[in-house]
Structure 1
Amino acid sequence: MSSRQEPFPLPRYECYRTVDRIRIDGALDEATWRHAPAMRLVGWKDGSAPEYETRVKMAWDQKNLYLAYWVHDDSIRSKLRRRDDPLWTEEVVEFFADAGGDLVDYCEFEWNGLGACVDLLCVWFEEGRWHAFTEWDAKGMRWAVRTGKTVIDGVELPGWQCEVSIPFSVFRDAPQLP
């Protein structure tokens, strides 16, 4: 099976272990989120800056990977509200995990400002085609969204925040897990 090539150099993020209990409530007020490094998000196709400033922080413990998003958004234009709705047609934050590191199959997660989520298992085929298994669910994943305001670089802005916990058991092909 041939591997896909990365379209541009992917940013790297060093994810630290947390000893804090992270409550998935969208508040992002745990000490973990104050101390974890922030990464600005970029467009997945070309690395371009998003329309609105968006940051993510990550952490992990023995059982889960944690994500925290801060999204500056003057007007949330999302309409979809159900699990596995086609969120890729709206404003979302996304997380891609290639647990095997082979650029052949990966998990895709998307969340919108209304609290909806879609989780997909995507597989690339040698012929250059891909398929997204929408019926796949990341068992045990939890998330919460809060809207109204967010704080980026100490500045309060209109927007939303998303907090996520993904069990490591979801990434069954990963060569190294805690």
Structure 2
Amino acid sequence: MNIPVTFLQRLSPKLLPAAWLSAMLGLGITLPAQAQSPFQGLEHLFTPPKGYVVQHTSQPLTLDGNLRESDWQKAPWTTDFVDIEGDKKPLPTFQTRVKMLWNDSTLFIAATLQEPQIWTTQTHHDDIIYKDNDFEVFIDPDNNAHQYFEVEVNAINKIFDLYLPKPYRDKGDALISWDVPALQSGVAINGTLNQPQDQDKSWTVEMAIPLKALRMGFPWQPPTEGTQWRINFSRVEWDTKV
């Protein structure tokens, strides 16, 4: 799910529609007629990304995946995730959705992943976490589709974090040695782990990413009210037998 996010100190009836409108209009794709032929059949991949307004919080948050705090309860969920290949594919079987908050030093991200069988095999930091079912975040603070940060997490809260100077499709080499300084995260499991004889319900991840960590040698300013960033979210779901 590709989401332009807008940072607000508080929701305002006047600011909210404008923030969503600017997020949507800024990323439309228009191709001249002579440039369209190489993309025939791929139009479903060019749908405008959805927007999300990140509400400001001054409330202390416990990073345990339970989202009990009142500000988390008030923060809206995104719409449900869709297939990465667009609307030509069926909707995913299991629901995934995200909500966010921020304060002057931190971006908070929470995601709930419906999952009837919760399992993991990757047990160390910077293991290849996407070998498990996982949740992934891609953050592009300067909105140029380059120089972005990736954080992956599995159901036992093991993190794979890295920096990409440019996308993989442009032969970008991931800097796996980079870690998010002072990253905090927690996972709550609604079910059992690695127990195939029963049915699970979901797992929820909650993370706190320091804003000052999201820079890597390029001009950067921390977000203020009205700032827009590009953030992608992804869920890896393997078809496995248990």
Q: TM-score range by the shorter chain?
A: 0.7 to 0.9
> Aligned equivalents of 1:127 and 1:147: distance in 2?
34
Indicate whether 1:177 and 2:220 are aligned: no
Provide the residue aligned with 1:115 in structure 2: 157
CA drift of 1:125 comes to 7.0
Provide the residue aligned with 1:28 in structure 2: 67
> Aligned equivalents of 1:135 and 1:106: distance in 2?
14
CA drift of 1:11 comes to 2.1
Comparing 98-107 with 126-135, greater Cα deviation is found at 126-135
Gaps of 5+ in 2: 1-28, 30-44, 192-199, 225-242
Provide the residue aligned with 2:210 in structure 1: 167
Q: Find the partner of 1:137 among 175, 179, 182.
A: 179
TM-score (norm 2): 0.63
| Residue identity in the other structure for 1:73 | E
> Aligned equivalents of 1:126 and 1:63: distance in 2?
29
Provide the residue aligned with 1:78 in structure 2: 120
- Greater radius of gyration (CA): 2
Contact 1:107–1:122 (Cα < 8 Å) also in 2 = yes
TM-score (norm 1): 0.83
Evaluate the alpha carbon distance shift between residue 69 and residue 126 of structure 1 in structure 2; reply closer, same or farther with a 3 A threshold. Answer: closer
Contact 1:115–1:144 (Cα < 8 Å) also in 2 = yes
Evaluate the alpha carbon distance shift between residue 126 and residue 138 of structure 1 in structure 2; reply closer, same or farther with a 3 A threshold. Answer: closer
Structure that is richer in helix per residue: 2
| Residue identity in the other structure for 2:186 | A
SS in 1 for 2:130: helix
Provide the residue aligned with 1:3 in structure 2: none
> Aligned equivalents of 1:68 and 1:167: distance in 2?
15
Gaps of 5+ in 1: 1-5, 150-156
Indicate whether 1:147 and 2:147 are aligned: no
Provide the residue aligned with 2:234 in structure 1: none
Comparing 20-29 with 160-169, greater Cα deviation is found at 20-29
Evaluate the alpha carbon distance shift between residue 125 and residue 36 of structure 1 in structure 2; reply closer, same or farther with a 3 A threshold. Answer: closer
Once the two structures are superposed, the pairs formed by residues 65-104 of structure 1 within 5 Å of their partners are 65-104=107-146
Contact 2:122–2:131 (Cα < 8 Å) also in 1 = no
Evaluate the alpha carbon distance shift between residue 72 and residue 81 of structure 1 in structure 2; reply closer, same or farther with a 3 A threshold. Answer: same
SS in 1 for 2:52: coil
Note the aligned Cα RMSD (angstroms): 2.4
Query: Between the two proteins, what is the percent identity of the paired residues?
Result: 25
Instruction: Figure out how many residues of one structure are paired with residues of the other and give that number.
Output: 167
Structure that is richer in strand per residue: 1
Q: Which runs of 4+ in 1 moved over 6 A?
A: none
